[in-house]
Chains A and B, each alone.
Chain A
Amino acid sequence: DAGVIQSPRHEVTEMGQEVTLRCKPISGHDYLFWYRQTMMRGLELLIYFNNNVPIDDSGMPEDRFSAKMPNASFSTLKIQPSEPRDSAVYFCASRIHPQNTEAFFGQGTRLTVV
């Protein structure tokens, strides 16, 4: 398996623009997670899905952020409108059902909002 695939790897956008980050989880994995990494706050869980259903989005910073998982092999994280403080590395991760299994992370998307 190719692992968790994220695109794009790097994104530079202007403040106010819409940004869409994409993730393809490992085939067969029931859970998908979106994390954000910043120098100030470290790694934070934004939202996670189980069998394509959002379970907990309490980590989503504000209404400008939204995430979808239309099918088992694809998820998006959208920021509209983007702001400079959204600049961060966004990671997608997936794992199989039992909670005592490890999550596998994608390579991340480095987002810069200017």
Chain B
Amino acid sequence: AQKVTQAQTEISVVEKEDVTLDCVYETRDTTYYLFWYKQPPSGELVFLIRRNSFDEQNEISGRYSWNFQKSTSSFNFTITASQVVDSAVYFCALSEAYSGGGADGLTFGKGTHLIIQP
């Protein structure tokens, strides 16, 4: 069965610091999809990025970057020059491609609560 581990329950940094959120996943499938979602204090879940298992190219979007490494089953998320508005809970999630019933749903990690202090 698939599993997503976000070992960091809470991280607190001062504004403008860089911060990396860790995500480690487990899956038996060779084809799978990884996601990051943001949950701000208002409660909604906001999609940030999707990565396919066959595409290990890292991605940068503004201050956000993602490092996908199949060798270590990790999909880490880095925020550069953090801002107070980045304060939220961040979830890493996995979807397997061919594991039968339930494959189309997301398995979420427990989330990392990121606090950016001014």
Q: Once bound together, how far apart are the Cα atoms of A40 and B52, in whole Å? A: 29
Across-interface contacts of B109 in A (CB, < 8 A): 42
**Contact residues on B (Cβ < 8 Å of other chain), bracket:** 20 to 34
Asked if B91 contacts A55 (CB within 8 A), the reply is no
**Contact residues on A (Cβ < 8 Å of other chain), bracket:** 20 to 34
* Binary CB contact string for chain B from 87 to 117 against chain A (1 if under 8 A, 0 otherwise): 0000100010100011111111111000000
Asked if B104 contacts A48 (CB within 8 A), the reply is yes
CB within 8 Å of B: which A84-114 residues: 89, 91, 93, 99-108, 110
Asked if A31 contacts B104 (CB within 8 A), the reply is yes
Q: Give the A-B pair count, Cβ closer than 8 A.
A: 61
Asked if B101 contacts A58 (CB within 8 A), the reply is yes
* Binary CB contact string for chain B from 35 to 59 against chain A (1 if under 8 A, 0 otherwise): 1010000011111001010000000
| Given contacts A91-B45, A104-B47, A105-B44, A56 and B102 within 8 Å (CB-CB) | yes
Please tell me if B33 contacts chain A, counting CB pairs below 8 Å. yes
Asked if B50 contacts A101 (CB within 8 A), the reply is yes
9 closest A-B pairs by beta carbon, nearest first, are A45-B105, A105-B45, A43-B108, A56-B101, A102-B47, A56-B102, A42-B110, A107-B44, A102-B50
* Residues on A facing B (Cβ under 8 Å): 31, 33, 35, 42-45, 48, 50, 55-56, 58-59, 89, 91, 93, 99-108, 110
